[in-house]
Structure 1
Amino acid sequence: MTHQLLLRFDSFDPSAFDADAEARGQVGLTLLQMWREGTGRHWALFSVNDADKAKAWLSKEAGLGHPPSASHMLETV
């Protein structure tokens, strides 16, 4: 099974997102696609190499006070 992670950002800071690229890469997340909805909300789809590491990264982001507004771990069927 292949995992993907869909994130929603209600408020999006491109500089902060870019600055976090290395940390996402270290946990096996690869950006596949990004969409903008309206004027501010952004969606990002990542491929996931290790679901447990991705979930740990999400927990860490929440602990640091800047998590995505919503996250969905998806798996192909």
Structure 2
Amino acid sequence: MQLLCQLDTNDFPGWKRDFDSEATERMEAGLTLLQMWRDADSRSRVILLFEANDRPRAEQWLRKEQGFGGPMTATFLEFA
């Protein structure tokens, strides 16, 4: 299962530094970062794709991260 997150941040360098420092917490939540993108037209928008191995733990991580760096949307995805 994958998890697609989109957030807006006014301070990408600060957000990225904090994001990188929380790698252990994401790993403990069963999340592996597969890809990170920045919107080419809106540099404040960040899109993250994770492999999610444990949905309940990933959902718990999401609740903790809501508002971290700005508004965030999250969608769990399965292969069709």
Given the two structures, how large is their TM-score scaled by the length of structure 1? 0.83
Residues 4 and 75, structure 1, Cα contact 8 Å, conserved in 2: yes
Cα shift at 1:75:
1.2
Change (3 A) 1:18 1:4: same
| Distance (whole Å) between structure 1 residues aligned to residue 31 and residue 49 of structure 2 | 9
Residue identity (%): 44
Amino acid at match of 1:32: L
3-state SS of paired residue (1:39): coil
> Aligned runs of 1:1-77 on 2, under 5 Å?
3-11=1-9, 12=12, 13-37=15-39, 38-62=42-66, 65-66=67-68, 69-77=72-80
Which ranges of structure 1 fall in alignment gaps of 5 or more residues? none
Amino acid at match of 2:6: R
Given the two structures, how large is their TM-score scaled by the length of structure 2? 0.80
Cα shift at 1:23:
0.3
| Distance (whole Å) between structure 2 residues aligned to residue 61 and residue 24 of structure 1 | 10
Which ranges of structure 2 fall in alignment gaps of 5 or more residues? none
